[in-house]
Amino acid sequence: MERPAWAPRSIDISVPSVARIYDYYLGGSHNFEVDRQAARRALEHLPGLPKIMQANRAFMRRAVRWAVGEGVTQFLDIGSGIPTFGNVHEVAQAACPEARVVYVDHDPVAVAHSQAVLEGNDRADVVAADLRKPQEILAAEPVERLLDLNRPVALLLVAILHFVEDDDEPYDAVAQLRDALAPGSLLILTHASYEGIPLPPERAEGAVDVYKDIRNPLIMRSREQIARFFEGYEMVEPGLVPMPYWRPETAPEGEDPYAFSGYAGVGRTA
């Protein structure tokens, strides 16, 4: 297999990656045949996956703009993935040129691309780290340099927590991050769920099995389980809802049925 110039030498390009599969769904070009094969297998079971990803990105952009409107101009985006059009720093800095953004991902391709995209942007940087080790994220040099944790920060956990198994204590990781941030900080979150998918769960389960096969289990949680991540936060209206219903700019009724899969919400600490 030919290794493209943009692929870091350290990565095994024969193993699929969640970040690169996501890039493929969004129409990106930073994925390998092994990623595309896994993606196509998942699409056989859940053909609406690209629509779910697009709804996810659209929610993220609305939430970032809303955060800036509320005076929050510092962003910590964990599980940020491979940069595609309309990333957090683009949206935030278009609304407020002073906005500061730190991306965090444990995928070397995502980190390498973020570094390339952010070159020359002195208000944004990337950290190679894992959500399961929140203290390492908080102690990272770009976080200390760019973010003032004594002022509100918007923490983005967009389409990431469903890749963290219960054994890895995701609720504890989210609580540690919450406790490190100043009052008035925000949690911007989306999470996959069988609820809202316009298919029987056993059909959607085939797509979940593809992720299990590539050793990146997709953990579908209920609305109640997802709501637990917001402990210690006050929910911002309209609460924890399907993604198109969170402060839409146009009537969500026209959205593809798959866009309503899973949940999105924003919380604020007192």
Q: Where are the beta strands (DSSP E) in 26-151?
A: 74-78, 100-105, 124-128
The helix-helix angle for 108-118 and 18-25 (nearest 10°) equals 60
Unique residue bearing structure tokens 């198109």: 244
Cα(60)–Cα(58) distance, integer angstroms: 5
Unique residue bearing structure tokens 């500061």: 100
The strand pairing partners of 78, in sequence order, are: 104
Query: What do you get for the CA distance between the two ends of the chain, in Å?
Result: 52
Nearest to 157 by CA among 81, 247, 225, 68: 81
Residues of the chain with pLDDT under 50: none
Joined together, the tokens standing for residue 4 give 């493209």
Cα(193)–Cα(223) distance, integer angstroms: 7
Q: 154 Cβ partners below 8 Å, 6+ apart? A: 63, 64, 67, 72, 74, 75, 76, 185, 186, 188
Give the global pTM. Answer: 0.95
Q: Where are the beta strands (DSSP E) in 57-170?
A: 74-78, 100-105, 124-128, 154-158
Q: Are 185 and 154 in contact (CB under 8 A)?
A: yes
Question: What pLDDT was estimated at residue 113?
Answer: 87
Cα(239)–Cα(236) distance, integer angstroms: 6
Cβ atoms < 10 Å from Cβ of 94:
13
Please tell us whether the domain made up of 18-268 is placed in CATH 3.40.50.150.
Answer: yes
Q: Where are the domains of the chain?
A: 18-268
Question: What pLDDT was estimated at residue 1?
Answer: 64
Joined together, the tokens standing for residue 18 give 């969640």
Q: 172 Cβ partners below 8 Å, 6+ apart? A: none
